[in-house]
């Protein structure tokens, strides 16, 4: 059966509108104009009256208002870059090159509410049930677009907290934090506590001992607490199709040389081993969507 068109094209009937204002770094969610005002459940008061076990009047927060408020807050804490404000993991994004990855992400979304919903009284599932994804592939194949769309669906549609973090951006924030007298843990605490952590550009950077120690802390803490982790990376598991980086030389007469590190070599055995247990490893190869013809611009604008 064909799906009917949404009544509100602006928010696709989620009652939450996402936009990026001029000069803002991240996309921001807000209540859409189509949302009933006042709320028909609480008539705009924000509260409902019920009875406690002793039969006395008791005011509780309106569940409908709180649901929308929480999902808007989750998205805004997610820190989706403004370039990806339109990422939705929608059927229009699926094609022959990403069909397998797209299908797996949809399957993961269907399972999330039963596994890590914040208000669930069930224990978190074991690591073999709750698995994330490491999405590998060449630049421009749409990895970041798909995972920011996953973050949108998790926060706005499912009410599951998520943090999307570029790895080099995190390193910059840590360096600034040191100047402000903050510790590593103070800065990365939200990354440890959120239901879903998405690391963009895993393996990027100078790969110093300090950088690897930060990555190890993130992976190990989430590993120990069975928390979902996802990542994009240009490094793959084979030298044949991994990212090739030119080695700079002071001698301009030398022939250009390139490094082709695998992800395993880039992050080290300890981190790689834990990621292997925690995540599905998927490869997204294909054409560079940034170089696609103008008629494909809808997807190109948000290609990773």
Last residue of a domain, one of 36, 65, 94: 65
Q: Does the residue 46 lie in any domain? A: yes
Q: Does the residue 56 lie in any domain? A: yes
Q: Does the residue 74 lie in any domain? A: no
Q: For residue 50, what are the domain limits?
A: 1-65
The answer to whether 124 and 116 have CB atoms below 8 angstroms apart is yes
Collapsing DSSP to helix, strand or coil, 16 comes out as strand
pLDDT of residue 128: 47
99 shares a domain with 59: no
pLDDT of residue 118: 44
Q: Does the residue 242 lie in any domain? A: yes
197 shares a domain with 221: yes
Q: Are strands 257-259 and 245-247 parallel, antiparallel or unpaired?
A: antiparallel
60 shares a domain with 184: no
84 shares a domain with 167: yes
For the chain, count helices (H), then strands (E): 9, 11
Which parts of the chain have pLDDT scores under 50? Answer: 1, 118, 120, 122, 125-128, 296-298
Cβ contacts of residue 72 below 8 Å, gap of 6+? 16, 29, 30, 31
The number of folded domains in the chain is 2
pLDDT of residue 297: 45
pLDDT of residue 241: 83
CATH number at residue 131: 3.40.50.300
pLDDT of residue 127: 44
Q: Does the residue 54 lie in any domain? A: yes
139 shares a domain with 100: yes
């Amino acid at each position: 059966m064909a799906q009917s068109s949404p009544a509100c094209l602006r928010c696709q009937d989620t009652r939450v509108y996402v936009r990026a204002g001029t000069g803002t770094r991240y996309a921001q969610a807000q209540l859409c104009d189509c949302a009933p005002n006042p709320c028909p459940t609480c008539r705009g008061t924000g509260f409902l009256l019920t009875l406690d076990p002793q039969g006395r009047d008791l005011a509780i927060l309106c569940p409908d208002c709180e649901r929308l408020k929480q999902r808007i807050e989750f998205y805004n804490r997610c820190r989706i870059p403004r370039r990806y404000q339109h990422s939705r993991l929608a059927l229009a994004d699926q094609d022959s090159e990403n069909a397998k990855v797209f299908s797996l992400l949809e399957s993961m979304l269907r399972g999330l509410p039963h596994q890590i919903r914040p208000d669930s009284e069930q224990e978190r599932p074991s690591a073999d049930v709750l698995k994330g994804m490491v999405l590998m592939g060449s630049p421009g194949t749409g990895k970041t677009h798909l995972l920011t769309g996953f973050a949108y669906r998790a926060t706005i549609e499912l009410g599951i907290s998520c943090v999307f973090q570029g790895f080099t951006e995190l390193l910059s924030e840590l360096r600034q934090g040191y100047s402000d007298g903050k510790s590593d843990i103070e800065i990365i605490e939200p990354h440890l506590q959120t239901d879903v952590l998405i690391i963009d550009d895993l393996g990027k950077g100078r790969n110093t001992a300090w950088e690897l120690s930060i990555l190890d802390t993130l992976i190990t803490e989430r590993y120990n607490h069975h928390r979902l982790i996802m990542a994009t990376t240009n490094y793959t598991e084979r030298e044949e199709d991994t990212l090739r980086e030119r080695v700079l030389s002071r001698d301009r007469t030398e022939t250009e040389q390139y490094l082709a590190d695998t992800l395993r070599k880039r992050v080290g055995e300890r981190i790689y081993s834990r990621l292997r247990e925690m995540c599905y490893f998927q490869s997204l190869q294909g054409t560079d969507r940034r170089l696609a013809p103008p008629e494909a611009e809808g997807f190109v604008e948000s290609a990773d």
